[in-house]
């Protein structure tokens, strides 16, 4: 056997390992030198309480699952096998029962290394994927699986988006097949069983330096299910039209993503969209999102200091790093107070000192480049953009740099010469673009596969 690469040295790593021998009672403690926490509990390695009846039902279920995998050639009695995130050990017992003697189960709870050498297993199984550290989990599967070995995962997620997220996560593997099988009880929903095979040789790490990106077909498919774009200019644009939005997480399962990120570009005060909309209304599937608030106006900065899990970027999202002048029209801010937003329009610094007074000098940064440095394709990324007209610069820049493909769902408030409430037929003089130009921006994004929503 080859030596283990590195010993886990984190005392808090909480990997509970249970080795269930064929007679089912003796737990072999062989982890002491690894400084892992070991819990000795025969029925119940992860603190999950189930009845004897449920135990035998689970074992029967897994027996038939593994029998099928043997028939198909993914597993054999000689396979050295590992059950990951085993909750009750029934999957391991089922393997032994059907004659796969060399089987072991591990409860992998936190980040850390599995206490096994590289290329140890012919077969790995995860009946209940719910990792808090998906990339670490995937790389441990990759490390411990032999080249050509099979990894079988059961998941409740059955849409193409989640399957592709899974493949992105386990990108060292080749998809062999997937199919839907019965759940544990006749009353429970069916489960998707995905079979992956570790590829031979060195695998390329994701991410190409190429700027071009194309949105894969399964994502384009989602656009067909999204709410249609509003083709006709709204006659009363001050009435919110948000309620028709079909959010991505209402269409697909987002479990197999690495991180969950929300970026509010032009965040204004916390309550204006992060607090009132994203936190309250966006369907998050119980995931913890990290929030980035991008807001150049100093008036809003103070309150972000006390917000946990929110990172404030006190700059203006722009197409390159440069100093800008930021018009902060106090008057407009006041009239819009009930919506909690002001009107900050960004102007390039070329017009120099004539702005003194009404303008603040601020730092603009290259949003597209920052996005590429901050998130990856394995992350689930939601962006809301309300940037007072800069969207006509930022969106093309996102497309040109390929950063657009990192965004799973995009909400844009497009600024045009809207009709005004005060004076029928009069248009706001603040913006030059027309509704048609906004619509073209949305249509072209959707045509290139970006799930974008109109935001009001």
Ligand X SMILES: *[C@@H]1O[C@H](CO)[C@@H](O)[C@H](O)[C@H]1NC(C)=O
List of residues contacting ligand X (CB under 6 A)? 2, 5, 14, 46-47, 109-110, 118, 132, 143, 321, 365-366
Of residues 436, 20, 83, the one with CA closest to residue 233: 436
CB 42 within 8 A of CB 27: yes
Nearer to ligand X, 13 or 164 (CB): 13
Nearer to ligand X, 183 or 314 (CB): 314
In whole angstroms, the minimum distance from the beta carbon of 4 to ligand X comes to 7
Nearer to ligand X, 106 or 267 (CB): 106
Nearer to ligand X, 19 or 220 (CB): 19
Q: Nearest-5° angle of CA 76, CA 79, CA 81?
A: 120
In whole angstroms, the minimum distance from the beta carbon of 422 to ligand X comes to 41
CB 375 within 8 A of CB 381: yes
Count of other CB atoms within 10 angstroms of residue 12: 9
In whole angstroms, the minimum distance from the beta carbon of 65 to ligand X comes to 23
Q: How far apart are CA 60 and CA 216, in angstroms?
A: 39
Nearer to ligand X, 14 or 420 (CB): 14
- Please give the backbone phi and psi of residue 385, each rounded to the nearest 5 degrees, phi first: -130, 115
Count of other CB atoms within 10 angstroms of residue 399: 19
Nearer to ligand X, 47 or 77 (CB): 47
Burial 262-291 (b: 16+ CB within 10 A, else e): bbbbbbbbbebbbbebbeeebebeeeebeb
Nearer to ligand X, 5 or 187 (CB): 5
Q: How far apart are CA 419 and CA 235, in angstroms?
A: 7
Nearer to ligand X, 321 or 351 (CB): 321
Residue 218 C-alpha from the chain's centroid? 16
Nearer to ligand X, 120 or 359 (CB): 120
Q: How far apart are CA 301 and CA 102, in angstroms?
A: 58
In whole angstroms, the minimum distance from the beta carbon of 143 to ligand X comes to 4
In whole angstroms, the minimum distance from the beta carbon of 131 to ligand X comes to 10
In whole angstroms, the minimum distance from the beta carbon of 6 to ligand X comes to 8
**List of residues 6+ apart from 158 with CB closer than 8 A:** 180, 190, 192, 253
In whole angstroms, the minimum distance from the beta carbon of 202 to ligand X comes to 10
In whole angstroms, the minimum distance from the beta carbon of 132 to ligand X comes to 6
Measured over the CA atoms of residue 322, residue 323, residue 329 and residue 330, the dihedral's sign is positive
In whole angstroms, the minimum distance from the beta carbon of 47 to ligand X comes to 5
Strand segments, DSSP code E, in 244-401 are 260-265, 290-294, 310-313, 316-318, 322-328, 344-348, 359-366, 380-385
């Amino acid at each position: 056997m080859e030596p283990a690469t590195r010993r886990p040295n984190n005392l808090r790593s909480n990997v509970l390992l249970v080795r269930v021998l064929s007679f089912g009672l003796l737990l072999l403690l062989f982890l002491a030198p690894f400084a892992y926490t070991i819990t000795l509990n025969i029925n119940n390695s992860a603190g999950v309480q189930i009845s004897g009846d449920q135990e035998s039902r689970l074992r029967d279920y897994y027996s038939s699952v593994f029998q099928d995998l043997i028939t198909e050639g993914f597993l054999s009695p000689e396979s050295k096998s590992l059950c990951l995130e085993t909750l009750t050990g029934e999957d391991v017992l089922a393997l032994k029962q059907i004659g796969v003697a060399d089987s072991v189960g591990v409860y992998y709870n936190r980040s850390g290394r599995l206490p096994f050498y590289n290329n140890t297993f012919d077969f790995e199984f995860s009946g209940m994927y719910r990792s808090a550290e998906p990339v670490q989990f995937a790389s441990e599967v990759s490390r411990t699986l032999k080249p050509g070995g099979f990894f079988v995962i059961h998941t409740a997620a059955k849409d193409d988006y989640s399957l592709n997220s899974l493949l992105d996560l386990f990108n060292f593997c080749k998809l062999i097949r997937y199919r839907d099988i019965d759940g544990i009880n006749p009353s429970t929903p069916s489960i998707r069983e995905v079979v992956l095979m570790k590829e031979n040789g060195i695998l390329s790490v994701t991410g190409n330096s190429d700027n071009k990106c194309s949105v894969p077909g399964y994502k384009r498919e989602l656009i067909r299910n999204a709410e249609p774009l509003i083709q006709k200019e709204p006659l009363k644009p001050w009435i919110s039209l948000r309620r028709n939005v079909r959010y991505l997480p209402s269409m697909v399962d987002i479990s197999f993503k690495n991180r969950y990120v929300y970026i509010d570009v032009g965040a204004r005060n916390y309550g204006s969209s992060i607090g009132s909309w994203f936190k309250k209304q966006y369907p998050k599937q119980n995931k913890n999102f990290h929030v980035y608030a991008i807001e150049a106006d100093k008036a809003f900065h103070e309150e972000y200091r006390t917000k946990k899990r929110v990172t404030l970027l006190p700059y203006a999202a722009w197409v390159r790093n440069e100093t800008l002048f930021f018009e902060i029209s106090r008057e407009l801010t006041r009239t819009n107070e009930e919506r909690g937003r002001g009107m900050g329009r960004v102007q390039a610094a070329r017009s120099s000192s004539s702005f003194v007074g009404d303008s603040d000098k601020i730092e603009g940064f290259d949003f597209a480049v920052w996005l590429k440095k901050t998130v990856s394709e394995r992350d689930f990324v939601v962006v809301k953009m309300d940037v007072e007209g800069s969207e006509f610069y930022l969106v093309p820049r996102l497309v040109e740099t390929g950063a657009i493909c990192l965004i799973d769902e995009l909400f844009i408030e497009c600024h045009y010469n809207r009709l005004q409430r005060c004076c029928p037929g009069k248009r706001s003089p603040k913006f030059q673009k027309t509704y048609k130009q906004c619509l073209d921006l949305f249509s072209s994004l959707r045509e290139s596969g970006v799930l974008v929503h109109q935001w009001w």
